[in-house]
Amino acid sequence: MTARHTSALEALLVDDSFDGDIYPNEPMARHTTYRIGGPARFFVCASSLSALSQLVRTCEESNVAWIAVGKGSNLLVSDDGFDGVVISLGRDFKTCRFDEERSSFSVGAGVPLSSVVQDAFKRGLAGLEFAVGTPGTVGGAVRMNAGSADEWIGGRIASVTTMAPKQGLKRYAGADIAWGYRSCSLPADEIVLECELLVQSALPSFIRGKMEAALTKRKKSQPLNVASCGSVFKNPEGNSAGALIDGVGLKGTRIGGAQISDMHANFIVNVDNATARDVRELIELARTKVKEAYGIELQPEVRFLGFA
């Protein structure tokens, strides 16, 4: 989709009644955990459903590319940026309510998943420990079915509310969504707005123990103190992407300011003002070498934005 005839969009974004914050030519390096990315034509934080609906409708009618993002924790943006609108969910999508009768949290998609984990812990509620320390938002976690090797958020979801272009609000029961490895069956063009997460009472010592174990494992095996997008590739069935990349001798390999982590080979880290091109070249190098050595085609978990 190319960006053309933006007069209607520009008119909306300069309207004082628009309920949101608009940043033209906004560097996406400010909005990704990679700290990489050229400018988006517009970065818009929509504060309400009305503003979000207006914005998406106008983009669709004007044939302007758009994408909704969370904290950019699994996003690599081109050095040239994105010739479209990047949408972030603001005020009305950052609420978290606990229903004692249902023992569930109704959480806006803009809420950091880690904050829900902490809220559950304080209330003595279990079920979300696997997500402790997760850097993304609830919306992003739902979209990619975030989780560990044994647990994932889809297993805790009672319902999901989305907004579909030209259709409006839609509600899905969690059981009606196909939850896959780092994926779900929600239509790609629908924006996750809210979800209901089921939890249950447990001893605080049990919850704390699971959270501490999960954090300890992550700290020992992942380069958490360096900018990255988390895991770059999905693990092939029955295999570890990190082990495959390590097996072809690429651990520690550096191109420009980017490096295949010497702690975990499925992490590409920004060690010195890396460019998106640096990261992309390492991704392609890893895919090529693993394919040659093992006949396995690694599939990226990271999302690409603004690339040809």
Annotated catalytic residue 123: no
Catalytic residue selected from 26, 129, 194, 301: 301
Catalytic residue selected from 35, 123, 182, 218: 182
Q: Which of 145, 166, 141, 165 is nearest to 155 (CA)?
A: 145
Q: How far is CA 165 from the centre of its chain?
A: 20
For residues 280 and 237, the answer to whether their CB atoms sit within 8 Å is no
Annotated catalytic residue 301: yes
Q: Where are the beta strands (DSSP E) in the chain?
A: 20-27, 39-46, 66-69, 75-77, 82-89, 96-99, 104-108, 125-126, 157-164, 168-173, 179-180, 183-184, 191-198, 200-201, 254-255, 258-260, 268-270, 303-305
Helices (H), 71-203: 113-122, 138-143
Neighbours of 128 (CB within 10 A): 26
Cα atoms in the 13 Å half-sphere on the side-chain side of 299:
8
Catalytic residue selected from 73, 228, 231, 261: 231
Give me the active site residues, please. Answer: 182, 231, 301
